[in-house]
Amino acid sequence: MSQSFTYQVSPMRVVFGVGTIADLADELERLNITRALVLASRRQHAELGDLAALTGGRMAGLFEGAVVHTPVAVTEQAMQVVRDLKPDGVVAIGAGAATGLSKAIALRTDLPQLILPTSYAGSEMTPVLGETVDGVKTTQSSPKILPEAVIYDVNLTVSMPAQFSAISGLNAIAHAAEALYARDGNPITSLMAEEAIAKLASSLPEVMARPRDLEVRSDALYGAWLCAVCLGTVGMALHHKLCHTVGALFDLPHAETHAVLLPHTIAYNTPAAPDAIGRAAKALGAPDAADGLFELSARLGAPRSLAEIGMPEDGIARAAELATRNPYWNPRPIEQAGIYDLLKRAWAGARPQAG
């Protein structure tokens, strides 16, 4: 049967490899950036040493205050630095906090961005920004938010603790898993999603065993990049809505919430999207995708219950009610009773069930 689809590629340059941070000055030159504001934590600064030398002398200044969830108050501090230094571009070195701040600055200034990720979060490949004001997170999308270039240097991920790597990797798998049944899915993204799940499922246990092994780190980062492309190319569904809901409601850690909920949200959607989720099962090397993800979490020592990451049991009904308001598109209707059962199992750490 022939299929119809639309495939739009983001205008983005990606440099991937081991030691690619050495290309930073050349990439800045390619973007005509001569005075970059560098966003990096103190730890990154300490590990990388002379940032001005790394940029080939193309550094106007440094901001070390990026915070997770991109609070607007922190963005305003960074914007004051932008007004003082008048940079002509932004370089972000770090995990989601640095990338988020870079995107927030770009939204306000349209300055070109060059991102060097140090985790598997993936937001560097998307035109979406989530900002927090008084504890409330809102998201928006704009071409200004999408970075112009990303340098993936495997060396920058080696210092990521093994346990955090595993949880960050499971969070990445969620992007690929939902891409397989996305309403605006297409064959190219589905191929990337399947490859991404296979690479991460095989490499993450190896990262746990040998965290400083560049080959397994390279496989994991490659898989995470593919997941990020999926996230930036097609829409997400129930899993991301549910993580957003319970994460915000109970102030739960982002990647851990994704890791716990993923087997359960995939189980919920399996009856409605058996072919798509069958591709995920094949990539995992498991008869059933939800079970395969649950077992992978166990192998990685990742949290498997919402209780252990801080969600109260009496919050299940409230979360189920909230998650069914203004739902994202999803292959299976989002019904309160089914979501309540899903959350109850996820809270207790029980094996996922389609319901």
Is residue 8 a part of any domain in this protein?
no
DSSP assignment of 75-115, as one string?
HHHHHHHHHHH--SEEEEEESHHHHHHHHHHHHHH---EEE
Q: Which CATH number does the domain housing residue 334 bear?
A: 1.20.1090.10
Residue with the bigger pLDDT between 201 and 252: it is 201
Is 177 in the same domain as 147? Answer: no
Is 81 in the same domain as 41? Answer: yes
Structural domain count, the chain: 2
Is 232 in the same domain as 305? Answer: yes
Q: Is 326 left (phi over 0), alpha (psi -120 to 50) or beta?
A: left
Among 134, 157, 180, residue at a domain's last position: 157
**pLDDT at res. 302:** 97
pLDDT digits (tens, 9 = 90+) for 151-195: 999 999 999 999 999 999 999 999 999 999 999 999 999 999 999
Is residue 3 a part of any domain in this protein?
no
Is 177 in the same domain as 268? Answer: yes
Among 99, 133, 157, residue at a domain's last position: 157
pLDDT digits (tens, 9 = 90+) for 98-133: 999 999 999 999 999 999 999 999 999 999 998 988
Section 307-328 average pLDDT:
92
CB contact at 8 A, 240 and 123:
no
Angle formed by the axes of helices 289-300 and 274-284, nearest 10°? 30
Is 47 in the same domain as 166? Answer: no
Is 99 in the same domain as 151? Answer: yes
Is residue 7 a part of any domain in this protein?
no
Q: Is the pLDDT of residue 1 over 70?
A: no
Is 41 in the same domain as 183? Answer: no
Is residue 22 a part of any domain in this protein?
yes
Q: In which domain, by residue range, is 314 found? A: 162-348
Is residue 212 a part of any domain in this protein?
yes
pLDDT tier, 135 (very low <50, low <70, confident <90, very high otherwise): low
Q: Is the pTM of this model over 0.75?
A: yes
pLDDT tier, 7 (very low <50, low <70, confident <90, very high otherwise): confident
Q: Is the pLDDT of residue 88 over 80?
A: yes
**pLDDT at res. 63:** 97
Is residue 353 a part of any domain in this protein?
no
Q: Which CATH number does the domain housing residue 71 bear?
A: 3.40.50.1970
Is 247 in the same domain as 275? Answer: yes
Is residue 355 a part of any domain in this protein?
no
The average confidence (pLDDT) of the chain is: 95
Cα–Cα distance for residue pair 217/20, rounded to 1 Å = 14
